[in-house]
Amino acid sequence: MPKPSRIRVTALTTALVLFVLTGCSGGGSENQDLTAQKLDWKACPAPDEAEGGGDSPSPLPGGASWQCATMKAPLDWSKPKGATIGLALIRAKASGAPDRRIGSLVFNFGGPGGSGVTTLPAFGADYAALRTRYDLVSFDPRGVGRSDPVECENDAQLDDYFQQDATPDTSAERTQLMKRTQQFNAACEKNSKTILPHVPTTDAARDMDLMRQVLGDRQLHYFGISYGTELGGVYAHLFPKNVGRAVFDAVVDPTQNPEQSSLGQAKGFQLALDNFAEDCTSKKTPCPIGDTPQDVKDRIAKLLVDLDRKPIPGILPRMLTQTAATNGIAQSLYSKDFWEYLTEGLEEAYDGDGKILMLLSDSMNGRNQNGEYSNITAANIAINCADEKPRYTADYVQQKLPEFRAASPLFGDYLAWGMVSCTDWAVPGAADHPDVSAPGSAPILVVGNTGDPATPYEGAKKMVEALGQGIGVELTYKGQGHGAYDSKNKCVQGAVNGYLLEGTVPRAGTVCT
C-alpha cells in the first residue's frame, strides 16, 4: 500500500479493491531461546481493524482450513534475549502426499505494510498447485496488522488527512501540506514510540529467518511480491546460505533512492494510463470517456483541474477531491481487471458523481465501508521512513516538479510531493537504498512485467544485477498490471511452478506473452 500523497512500493492487496479480506493473532514477551518455541496453530479469528476487518478466512477448495498462530520475535534484534513482540502467522497445510512435501513456502505480498494474514487467503485458490508440495505460510510483518501495529491517527483524523490537498499550487497550500504531514508524523511518534525504531526491512528479514527455524525448515522457500521482493533481497543478503527456492514478482529496483523510485513510478503509472486509454479507444464499441487516447487523457486532466477548484460528492459526507480522484485512478491501474471500474468511475465523475473513484481511493488507503482504516498507511510510512535515509524539503520538491511533470503530467505532482512524508519523522532512515547482494545464494527467479505501473519493469534487471552474478534469473512477462503470476499467464505460472515445485530453473531471459 502507498504512503499518503505518494504511490510508493505497493502490495497486491491494493488490486483487490472491492473484496473483503481476512485475519490472525499477536503478542508475547519472555526471555528465552526463540528458535525452540512451538507454535500453537488454531482456527483463525476474524481480522481486527488494523488488518482491515472482515470475516474469518473461508476454507480452501476441498475444505482445507486456514490455521493461525503467533510467533515471538525480539523487539530489538540487537538484544535478542530482551523483550519480544508477537508476529501473526497464517498457514494452509500441504495438500499432497507427505513424502512429496518440500516444506513451507513463505509469502510477502508487499506494501510495505500489507497484512499477509489477510491477503494469503484471498489469493489461496491461485496457489493450489504450490500447495501440493508446500505449506502455504504468510504473516503480518512487525508493525503491521496484529504484529504490534504502528498506530498514528484515528479514523476521523484519517478522513481529514486524506481529504487534504496533496498537490499544493500556492505557498499557503504548501505550508498546510507540510503542517498536516508533521501532525500525522507526530501522532505516530506519540502513539507508537516503542515500535517505530524497530520496523526496518532488515528486522523483518531477521524475523523471517527465525520463522524458518520455528517452522522447521532447513532453508527459506519464499515468494515475494512488490515490496516483498525488496524484503526477499535483504534476506538473501543477510542469510544467503539459507535461501531455498525463491521467486520475486513485481520487482523493486534496489539501486534507487526514494526520489528515483518516485520518479520511476511517475513514468510507470503514466505508461499504465497510456495503455488504458489506448485499450479503451481501440475496441469496436465506442469508448465512453474519449474518442482518442489523447482525448481520454485530456478529459481526465481537465477533471482533476476542475476538482481542485470544486470537489464533487463522493461517499457523503466526504467529497471527491483532486487528490482522492488521482489516488483512485492510480488504484485502478494496478490491474487490467479494474480498468472497467476506472471507465465507469470516470463516466460518473464527469456527471458529478464521485462514488466509484472515492471507493477506489478508499481501497488504496485501507478504508473499509464502515469507515474504519487498517494500519496500512501508518505501517507503510513507518517502514519506508525507517529504511530510507533521505529527507526531502518542500523547497527541494518544488525544484523537482518540472522533472516529475515531464515524466507524468497526471501523476508527477502527486508523486513528487509524496517525498515529504518522512521529512519530520522521529526515527532516522537506514540507507539510500537496500543492499541485496547475495553471494552464495541459491538461484532466485526474478519476474518483471513490462506494463507494471508501481514497480516498473526495469527494476527486474537491476535486481538481477544487484543480487550478483549467477544468483538472479530474469523472466519477462509482456503484460499489464502490478505483478505477473496473478495474471494467470500460463507461461509465467509454468516457469514459477516448475522452479518452486521441481527445482527447474528457467533459462535466463525467458519471455512470456
- The β-bridge relationship of strands 312-313 and 220-225 is unpaired
Q: Say whether 314 sits in a helix, a strand or coil.
A: coil
User: Is the preceding omega at residue 317 within 30 degrees of 0, hence cis?
Assistant: yes
Element (H, E) at 209: helix 201-214
- Give how far Cα 329 sits from Cα of 91, 256, 286, 464, 497, Å: 34, 25, 21, 31, 33
Are 22 and 47 in contact, with CB atoms under 8 Å apart? yes
Q: How far apart are CA 512 and CA 508, in angstroms?
A: 12
* Helix orientation angle between 394-407 and 258-281, rounded to the nearest 10 degrees: 30
Among residues 177, 175, 157, the alpha carbon closest in space to that of 165 is found at 177
- Asked if the peptide bond before residue 45 counts as cis, ω within 30 degrees of 0, the response is no
Is the distance from CB of 85 to CB of 142 less than 8 angstroms? Answer: yes
User: 506: which 3 cell numbers?
Assistant: 528457467
Q: List the catalytic residue out of 198, 482, 486, 487.
A: 482
- 3-state SS of 387-411? HECCCCCHHHHHHHHHHHHHHCCCC
- Which residue out of 433, 452, 486, 487 is catalytically annotated? 452
CA 233 to chain centre: 15
Q: Which three cell numbers stand for residue 256?
A: 534507487
Q: Give residues with Cβ within 8 angstroms of 402, minimum separation 6.
A: none
CA terminus-to-terminus distance, the chain = 27
In Å, how far are 117, 203, 238, 402, 458 from 209, measured between CA atoms?
18, 10, 9, 44, 29
Among all chains, which residue has been given the C-alpha cell 527459506? 220
Active-site residue flag, 226: yes
Residue of 95, 226, 335, 408 marked catalytic: 226
3-state secondary structure of 509: coil
Inter-residue contact 471 to 444 (CB < 8 Å): yes
Place of cell 487516447: 293
Q: What is the side-by-side order of every strand in the sheet holding 84-92? A: 42-43, 67-74, 84-92, 134-139, 103-108, 220-225, 243-249, 444-451, 472-480, 510-512
Q: Could you give the angle at the alpha carbon of 367 between the alpha carbons of 363 and 370, nearest 5°? A: 125
For residues 104 and 138, give the distance between their C-alpha atoms in angstroms, rounded to a whole number.
10
**Are the C-beta atoms of 380 and 2 separated by less than 8 Å?**
yes
Active site residues: 226, 452, 482
